[in-house]
Structure 1
Amino acid sequence: MDDVPDARRRLMANVRSADTKPEMVVRRIAHALGYRYRLHIRSLPGSPDLVFPGKRKVIFVHGCFWHRHHGCSRTTFPKTREDYWNAKFSANIARDAAQATALLGLGWSVLTIWECEIRDLLALRQRISSFLSNDAASAPFPN
């Protein structure tokens, strides 16, 4: 019985918050498009994954499970500790919304890219290119 908590602890310790595969894909695309960026600027709300200071634009790369991508098949729900997970996911969603709103209030444009979007690299490249080349402000909660 003690193996289950140890196994769970090891599994959760491997969950990364930076330099994830989806984040690296987005970085490579932005770089290939000729854009240069800074990573995880802590002075900005939410420490965005990619920051384009000259353009006042940021990109968040969200995992579908942790950030609850609505309608995505990766947004499953754990079968144990339902109260814990409900509170955790609700807090994540509220935090993401507050961070995007705060950034918009500071004059930054925000793009959220979901983990499942890396499956279609051409569409992702177009979305990133459109966001970075457009001077219009973005909506805080894109799907």
Structure 2
Amino acid sequence: MYEPWASSDAARKTMQGNRGRDTKAELAVRRLVHGAGLRYRVGARPEPDLRRTADLLFTRARVAVFIDGCYWHGCPEHFTLPATNLDYWSTKIGRNQARDLETTTLLEGLGWLVLRFWEHEPPAAVAASIAKRVRERRALCGA
């Protein structure tokens, strides 16, 4: 018999409603980065054969930006394990963190600059950091 992965119907409904992209944090940062005159791709793969997508991708400058959700990526400042399904959630978050590290390592090995931010960070500070780093990379590589 099929065993549901959510601890309750309410938990399942909440989890299904979570966005994989276009979160409030992402949209706020994207608006500010666009307002700073930078153009980027959204939800794109930095490398065609790598099944990972960046939240913002600056292809010519080779900068991949990830804005990680505090819950799903185990933010050290805000993450707490839920009271139910402890084994499931600790394994799930651990896999997400391992995948994040693997993605960063792979992309850096291929010459990408990987920028990671938490969703709780102020969008203006995140956007300023992104703009600064992208402009530095463009100046270095002539993109």
Moved more, 83-92 or 40-49: 40-49
Q: Is the Cα–Cα contact under 8 Å of residues 45 and 99 in structure 1 kept in the other structure?
A: no
Q: How does 1:50-129 map to 2 (within 5 A)?
A: 50-70=56-76, 72=77, 74-117=78-121, 120-129=122-131
Q: What is the percentage of aligned positions where both structures have the same residue?
A: 40
Report the CA distance between 1:45 and its aligned residue: 5.1
Runs of 4+ in 1 over 6 A off after TM superposition: none
Structure 2: unaligned runs, 5 residues or longer: 1-6, 139-143
The two structures have a TM-score, normalised by structure 2, of 0.82
Q: Of 51, 54, 60, which aligns to 1:48?
A: 54
1:29-88 CA distance string (max 9 Å, x none) = 110111100112232552111110111111001001111122x1x212101111111111
C-alpha distance in structure 1 between counterparts of 2:112 and 2:51, whole Å: 10
Q: What TM-score does the superposition give when structure 1 sets the normalisation length?
A: 0.82
Give the equivalent residue in structure 1 for 2:141.
Answer: none
CA contact (8 A) 2:33 2:128 kept: no
The alpha carbon displacement at 1:89 in A equals: 0.9
Structure 1: gaps spanning 5 or more residues: 137-143
Aligned match of 1:141: none
User: CA RMSD for the aligned pairs?
Assistant: 1.7
| Residues 13/121 of structure 1: CA separation in 2 closer, same or farther (3 Å cut) | closer
